[in-house]
Each structure stands twice: as structure tokens, then as C-alpha cells.
Structure 1
Amino acid sequence: MSTKQKKNGSNRIVELARNNSVPLMFILICAVCIPVSGFSPGYLLNEIMTRLGRNAFLILSLLIPIMAGMGLNFGMTLGAMAGQIGLIFAADWQIWGIPGIILAMIISIPISILLGIFCGKMLNRAKGREMITSYIISFFMNGLYQLVVLYMMGSIIPIMHSSIKLPRGYGVRNTVSLLHMRQYLDNLLAIRIGGVKIPVLTLIVIGLLCLFIIWFRKTKLGQDMRAVGQDMDVAGDAGIKVERTRIIAIVMSTVFAGLGMVIYLQNMGNISTYSSHTQIGMFCIAALLVGGASVDRASIGNVFLGVILFHLMFIVAPSAGAKITGDSMIGEYFRVFISYGVITLALIMYEAKKRRAKGKAGQMLQLAQDEEAEN
């Protein structure tokens, strides 16, 4: 092998490591924490399968805005709020099981569409700053959501069941029980292999969304979104309605997030009315980035790798922290630190990559100009 081939090979390895530094870091963390935690492989597999069914649909909802060049959609929280409102109504009307899950999804869809249109229009006014704008929009809408569930439900919006209403007669309790709906979707076609429970129906639903995303990328609208994501000006010149396409991307993401939140909460078995949705966007985005995605590039494979690595770390870190330091809270702090840290790292790496690409393009342009001047 020549020196040039060796150099090219080493450069490829360095580039591969640089592009996948976040997944590699998490693989290393998990490799250290798993033996220390003392958990059996069967227990870990069971937990990973449960969390895969619980979280994958939510994380998949992030892919379409990335395809449209809108970055990481922190506004998925709006869809999560819509899903929670759907479940609150299903619980109030005492419709449980699969009918209750379907009803909650149906209620969440029109709310998600309205919130998605609002969010999309706001993001069209903040082109190039979509992520921070969607993050702030989620805070604003959280205030509006709390106004609705704390004051309007029971006073203006009819809420009848005493287990949901606050004792004062209006407003929704801090926790709404979904005990009669808990894991209905997961248990309906569940099978056990070697003691590991596999929620077949939930995985089928997730698989259908994956197939939809693969199909959607090949459609005219999907191709338009990719064109808008690559260059809005060129897409506009080609006759694509850029702003309309971006709004559709956000609406689709918000609707999927609402459906995903229903799947998530039926697995949990209760709604923390005022807090369930607040961290969901952050953790879903962190999981996607852990899987090797970036602000402008994400795939279905990144979703599943991210869920496995991120939640494996969530499972083993507290136990490993307790074994190493004698204090399980160290592991809890570590989990939160990693969640925010991985987003920060991904954003820094994205900006660094953009600057490198810009610098390389500038060098190529300078070389071309020098050659032209010499001729």
C-alpha cells in the first residue's frame, strides 16, 4: 500500500470519527456504565424495547422539518400539548382502551394542525433562526396551554368527571390517571422472546410511520421540501412555494408529535398535566442527535440508534453513579447534563462544519481566480 493510500485511509477514518463523534462518545459511556450498573442483559433489553416503543414515534416527527431545512423542531412541544388535551377529554368521557387512544388521536389532529400553522407562519418570519424561534414559541404556547387547562377547562370548556377536575370546580388536576388505558396498545399483540416483551402493535405503528416517511421523500411535495432545505432562493426560482412548503413541514411534524404523545402517555399510564410536555422536545432532540443526526441531516437509522444509546445511558447512569460514588443523584445530574450537553455539542459541531465548508469554498474560489488571472 502506497503512502498516499495510507494517508487517504487515515483521513477517511478521522472524518468518520468526526462525523460520528456523538454516537461514539455514548457507546463509550454505555460500555463503561453497563458493567458497573450490575443490570442483567435481559433487564436492559426489556427496558430498551419498552422505551423504543414509547419514544420512537415522537422522535420520527422531527425528521420532516430537518428535510425542509428548518433544523431541529423544538416546536414539537405544541403537538405534545395537543396529544395531552386529547387524552384529557378521553379520560373525562371515560372512554378507555384502544377506543380511548384512537379518540385522543382524533381530537389531537385538528388542534395540532392549527398550532402547526401558527408555528409555521411564525417560523417563516424568522428564516435562518428557526430553532431558537420554535423554542421560544413552545414557551409562549405553554403559557396558553396552562391558561386553557387551569382556568378554562371546567368553567368554559365542559369537564364533568370529578377525578379530573380540581376541587374548586374548574381546572385540571396535576395528574390525570390513564390506568384503564395503560399499555393497551403495547399489550394488544405483545409477544415474549426469552423474557423480553416485544410490543408488536406499537412497533407496527412506528414501522408504518417509517414507511410513510420513506414514501413521502419520493413524492413531489417531499422533493420540494428537500429543494427548499438545500436552497430557498433556488427553490423559489424553480416555482416552488417556499413558505407554504415550510408550513406544511411544520404542520406534519406537529401532527405526528401529537399522535406520538398519545402513544407515549398510554405507555406511562398517567398525564402530568403541567409538565409532561415541557421536556419532551429536549429529550427527543437529544436522542436524535445521539443517534448521529445533525441540524441539517437526519435519517430513520439515527432515530433508532439514538433511542437505544440515549435511553441505555438513562437506565444505567443512576445505578452506575450510585455504585461509583455512593450517591445515585450523581447519575441523575449526569443524565440532565448529557441531555443539554449533547444538543450544545451538536450545534457547535454544525457551525464548525459550516465554517470549514465556507472556508474551503473560499479557497477553491481564490484558486480559480488566481488561475484565471495567470491565463
Structure 2
Amino acid sequence: MEKLKKILISYAVPIAFSILCVSGVLVAQIPPIFLASEIVRRLSRNTFLVLSLIIPIIGGLGLNFGIVLGAMAGQAALFFVVDWKIKGLVGILVACLMASAMSIVLGWLAGLTLNRAKGREMITSMILGFFANGIYQLIFLFFIGSLIPFGTKQFLLPEGVGLRNTVDLYGTVASALNNVWMVRIGTVRVFVLPLLIVVGLCLFITFLFKTKLGQDIRAVGQDMHIAEVAGINVNKVRIIAIIMSTVLAAIGQVIYLQDIGTINTYNSHEQIGLFSIAALLVGGATTRKATIWNAILGVVLFHTLFVVAPSAGNKLFGQPQVGEFFREFLAYAVIAFALAMHGWRAKKILM
């Protein structure tokens, strides 16, 4: 009985979401083929971003809301790829390289900041995201077309300064990864290359934690003081963990946006951190422990609910908008629940 209670407490969030998902599917009466198609596509689109959160969690930095910095770098790179009219896989590769270069600098600055806020990394990374968003808005609303040249005039505001609200990727890099290798299983389309890239990242993360650097990251996450006594440069390892997370988030945003096909210039990045963290927590991760399977399960459960919520809201209340509000509420609620559980467990350990 005690063992069952422990399992229920440990997996409370994924169990609750599994029940919600099954209930939502039954109420919404969504065709299974359509649901399967949506989940497979969202697995290839969103999983890379969710996986980018794992390294900082294991490194003891908690939930890295700062992946939004990487998302901004990914979008910035895509804007220039569109302007330079670089198409297909070459455009994706150039965007990833540019975004990675920007993310290394942003991750380094974020790491330096988080090292000065030990024990308060999550709220600090969230505020960093808000601060960086202000700079991002300034650059792409006032500097593009004036201080920074941008040749594609149809994406500029009528005054010739600042990007429009929407930048279209069709004709350049939209679906560039998706179109390389697509398999049809009945009416379900499976985009193989993005899924293979996700598998590659899973293998990289697994390999990383078998290396000296990975063991150092794990040791720092378990106890900074003991790691320092053992001769590990704690601050350096934490900065490396944040840089890796930011770079992966930038690449993940490029993968995400090539699938969407358009960039909402001033909003596409804003919810990336929130929804990626919510998905990871839904999969059973905590602020101190996360695995690849937590990320995959979380994406499946969280996005199943995303697909069925509007239809379920429409069936129950006659208003699909109720489902939209419910999705937003759940994203915040699961983060609040996970943080409350973390605080409760920490208190139990101290007692």
C-alpha cells in the first residue's frame, strides 16, 4: 500500500493528464486517424524544444524559462535566411548555424547571470526572457530597415522600418525538413527527417551523460558544494549547461517554425518556454529530475489535450473558446502544481 501511494504521488501529473486526455477524446469524439496524424506531427515539431530543457534540470538549474532566448535567436536567423532567399535544407542549415552562434553568446550571458542568482534560477531565467524580449522587439521593430539592412520590402512595415507581424517562410525554408522524407501510413503523414533529428538529440543527451562533462553536470546538480570540493569548476559547468540548452532551443525553434511555415514576428517565441516546460512536467519530470521519456510522454499527453480541448469545450459548453482558455489554464496549472510538489517534497526531506 505504501509503495502504491509513493507511485501515485510520483506520477500524479502524468496520471491526471492521461485521465483528462482520455476523457477529452471521448467527449470530443475526434476521429482516431485525425488525432494520430496531429500527435505524430507535433512529436516531430515540438519534441526537440522540450528535450532542450533536460540538461539544465540535471545540472541543478531547474526549469530553464530562458530557452526563449534561444527561440529568439532561431527566429532572428530565419528572418535573415528569408531576406537572403536561401532555400531548402541549405537555408535550414544556415539558420541553425547563425542561431547557434547567437545562442552561444546569449547562453553565456544567461549563465553568468544565473551564477549570481544561485537558488533562484527559475525566476531569474523567466525575468531574463522578459528582458531579452524587450531588446528583441526594439531590434525588429525599430532597427530592421534603418540600422540593419533588410532587402525584402514586402516583409517591412509601410514606413520601411520594422518587420511586419507575420513573415512567410513559404518559397524558402517552409517544410524543408518535412519534405525530404515523408511516409504515409494510411492517411497519417509521418515526417521522418525531423523525427530522426529528435532521435539524434536523444542519443546525444544519453551519450553526454556518460562523458566527463556529463558526470560533472550531474554532480553539480546533486550538490554544488560537494562538486566544488571534488575539484569541479561549478560556475563553468553551469554556464556550459545553459549554453547547450540555449543552442538546442534555437535549433528546436528553427525545426518548429519550418513546420509551421510562418513566423509571428513578435509572438512566436513568447509561449515556447511555458509550453515546453508544461509538456515536460506533464510527462512526469520535476524541477530536479528529467528524462528523455518524460519529454516524449509529455509531448504526447500535453498536445493530445491541446488537440481535443477546443472540440471538447464546444461539445460541453457550445463554445470552442472555452477549450482554448482551458489549455492556457492547464499550462500554468501544471507548472504551479509541479513547483508546489517540489516544495512539499523538499520540506518532507528536511523534516
TM-score, normalised relative to structure 2? 0.99
- Opposite residue 303 of structure 2, the aligned amino acid is H
Residue 214, structure 1, aligned to residue 206, structure 2? yes
- The residue type paired with residue 261 of structure 2 is G
Matched, 1:223 2:212: no
Letter aligned with residue 198 of structure 2: I
2:338 aligned with 1:351, yes or no? no
Q: CA deviation at 1:26?
A: 0.5
Root-mean-square deviation (Å): 0.7
Aligned residues: 350
SS at match of 1:163: helix
Provide the secondary structure at the position in 1 that maps to 2:184: strand
Instruction: After TM superposition, give the deviation of residue 99 of structure 1 in Å.
Output: 1.3
Residue among 2, 18, 21 paired with 1:27: 18
User: Which residue does the alignment assign to 1:304?
Assistant: 296
Structure 2 counterpart of 1:369: none
Tell me the residue number matched to 1:106.
97
Match for residue 269 of structure 2 among 253, 269, 277:
277
Q: Superposed, which structure 2 residues align to 1:37-48 within 5 Å?
A: 37-48=28-39
- % same residue: 51
Unaligned runs of 5+ in 2: none
The amino acid across from 1:175 in the alignment is T
Mean CA deviation greater in 181-190 or 130-139: 181-190
322, 327, 333: which one aligns with 1:330: 322
Question: Which of 300, 306, 312 is matched with 1:320 structurally?
Answer: 312
2:51 equivalent to 1:60:
yes
**Aligned residue in 2 for 1:75:** 66
Q: Determine if the alignment matches structure 1 residue 192 to structure 2 residue 201.
A: no
The letter for the 1-side match of 2:167 is V
Partner secondary structure for residue 216 of structure 2: helix
1:259 aligns with 2:251: yes
Distance 1:43 1:171 in 2: 39
SS at structure 2 position matched to 1:185: coil
Q: Give the match's secondary structure for 2:109.
A: helix
Q: Deviations over 1:285-343 (max 9, x none)?
A: 00000000000000000001000000000000110110011111111111001000000
Of 63, 67, 85 in structure 2, the residue corresponding to residue 94 of structure 1 is: 85
CA distance in 2 between partners of 1:226 and 1:160 (Å) = 47
- Secondary structure of 1:197's counterpart equals strand
Amino acid across the alignment from 1:24: I
State whether structure 2 residue 241 is matched by structure 1 residue 241: no
In structure 2, what residue type is equivalent to 1:319? S
* Displacement after TM superposition at 1:20 (Å): 0.4
Deviation at 1:187, TM superposition (A): 2.1
For structure 1, list consecutive stretches of 5 or more residues without a partner in the other structure: 1-9, 360-375
Matched, 1:166 2:157: yes
State the one-letter code of the partner of 1:285.
I
**Greater gyration radius:** 1
